[in-house]
């Protein structure tokens, strides 16, 4: 069903650009608002992309602030949307939640047998190496294309954006926040990959997507970027002390960079928690309240 034919829905903008089309996969009432799943043709990724969007009740009256949630390896738009428990807290704060997919998908999209490369593992970069460069342009998709689409179709305020994510998505949230100055008011992350240049969760993927020139990797390493450019806003990081991937995540490198730069940031090691969505959901209220303060600040 094309969104352009559903303008009577109070959560959608009344007018659309000529030729604008987006497919409604599902829409469900949720905490007084609406949780939708939508598909559209993406120029950045060269094919169809799917995303989830929660709009609070306030979106019926006008544009609301936006919090982006970027998911981790092997995830789709669906994981956080159904497991993180974020909608209840976002409804309380009057904030929209965007749940993008983690990569382009489809029979014509190149893939790899490993779980940490290819479909489900876009790493939020613009690939420049074949065969990945044809579709894997997640940086442009998240930073530019999808926000523009949301602004045309839904009651969201793109002057008030913040970003968060989990694992690979935490890496993406941090690097996008520092790499796009002024776009996001606050950034947080759950168990982020903090130093991909020094980890098997990064070296392999950056070589495949970006090539051997490590100068091209640096803008996508949160610890390097934190030390070099930092973030003009508040930062919140949570990682579990029992996270089974700590040696790959390397939170100590980001802690050092935050301290060296004297960044306004909090990195918390949460005792007993692992890498799962049980961990994410346990601290989701904290993160949404953290972003709400920044999003509603004058």
What does the domain layout of the chain look like in residue ranges? 23-295
Name the pLDDT band for 226 (thresholds 50, 70, 90): very high
Q: Which two tokens stand for residue 89?
A: 């807290």
pLDDT(2) > 50: no
The pLDDT assigned to 298 comes to 82
The pLDDT assigned to 20 comes to 61
**Active site annotation includes 157:** no
**Active site annotation includes 220:** no
pLDDT(28) > 80: yes
Q: Compute CA 41 distance to the chain's CA centroid, rounded to the nearest angstrom.
A: 19
pLDDT(8) > 50: no
The pLDDT assigned to 12 comes to 57
pLDDT in tens, 251-294: 999 999 999 999 999 999 999 999 999 999 999 999 999 999 99
Q: Which of 42, 71, 162, 167 is catalytic?
A: 167
Round to whole Å and give the CA distance between 69 and 159.
Answer: 17
The pLDDT assigned to 21 comes to 78
Cis peptide before 65 (omega within 30 of 0): no
Strands 96-100, 64-70: parallel, antiparallel or unpaired by DSSP? parallel
Fold of 23-295: Rossmann fold (3.40.50)
pLDDT in tens, 54-73: 999 999 999 999 999 999 99
Residues in the chain: 298
**Active site annotation includes 40:** no
Tokens 């950056």 map to which residue? 206
Indicate the SS3 state at residue 198. helix
**Long-range Cβ pairs for the range 20-23 (8 Å, 24+):** 20/152, 20/153, 22/149, 22/153
Q: Which of 281, 71, 295 is nearest to 165 (CA)?
A: 71
Round to whole Å and give the CA distance between 269 and 238.
Answer: 6
The reply to whether the predicted model has a pTM over 0.85 is yes
**Are 162 and 183 within 8 A, CB to CB?**
no
Q: Which of 208, 243, 287, 291 is catalytic?
A: 243
Strands 47-55, 64-70: parallel, antiparallel or unpaired by DSSP? unpaired
Q: Which of 135, 275, 287, 291 is catalytic?
A: 275
pLDDT(33) > 80: yes
């Amino acid at each position: 069903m094309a969104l352009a034919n559903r303008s009577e829905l109070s959560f959608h903008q009344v007018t659309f650009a000529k030729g604008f089309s987006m497919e409604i996969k599902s829409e469900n009432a949720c905490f007084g608002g609406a949780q939708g799943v939508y598909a559209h043709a993406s120029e950045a990724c060269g094919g169809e992309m799917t995303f989830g969007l929660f709009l609070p009740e306030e979106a019926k009256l006008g544009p609301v602030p936006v919090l982006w949630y970027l998911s981790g390896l092997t995830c789709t738009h669906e994981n956080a949307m159904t497991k993180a428990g974020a909608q209840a807290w976002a409804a309380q704060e009057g904030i929209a939640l965007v749940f993008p997919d983690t990569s382009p998908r489809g029979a014509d999209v190149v893939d790899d047998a490993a779980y940490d490369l290819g479909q489900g593992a876009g790493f939020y970069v613009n690939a420049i190496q074949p065969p990945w460069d044809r579709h894997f342009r997640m940086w442009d998709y998240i930073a530019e294309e999808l926000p523009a689409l949301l602004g045309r179709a839904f009651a969201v305020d793109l002057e008030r954006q913040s970003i968060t994510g989990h694992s690979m998505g935490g890496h993406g949230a941090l690097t996008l926040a520092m790499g796009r100055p002024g776009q996001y008011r606050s950034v947080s992350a759950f168990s982020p990959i903090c130093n991909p240049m020094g980890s098997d969760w990064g070296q392999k993927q950056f070589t495949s997507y970006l090539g051997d020139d490590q100068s091209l990797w640096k803008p996508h390493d949160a610890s390097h970027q934190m030390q070099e450019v930092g973030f003009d806003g508040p930062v919140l990081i949570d990682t579990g002390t029992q996270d089974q991937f700590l040696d790959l995540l390397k939170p100590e490198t980001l802690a050092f960079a935050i301290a060296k730069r004297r960044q306004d940031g909090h990195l918390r090691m949460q005792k007993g928690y692992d890498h799962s969505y049980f961990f994410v959901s346990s601290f989701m209220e904290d993160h949404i309240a953290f972003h709400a303060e920044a999003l509603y600040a004058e």
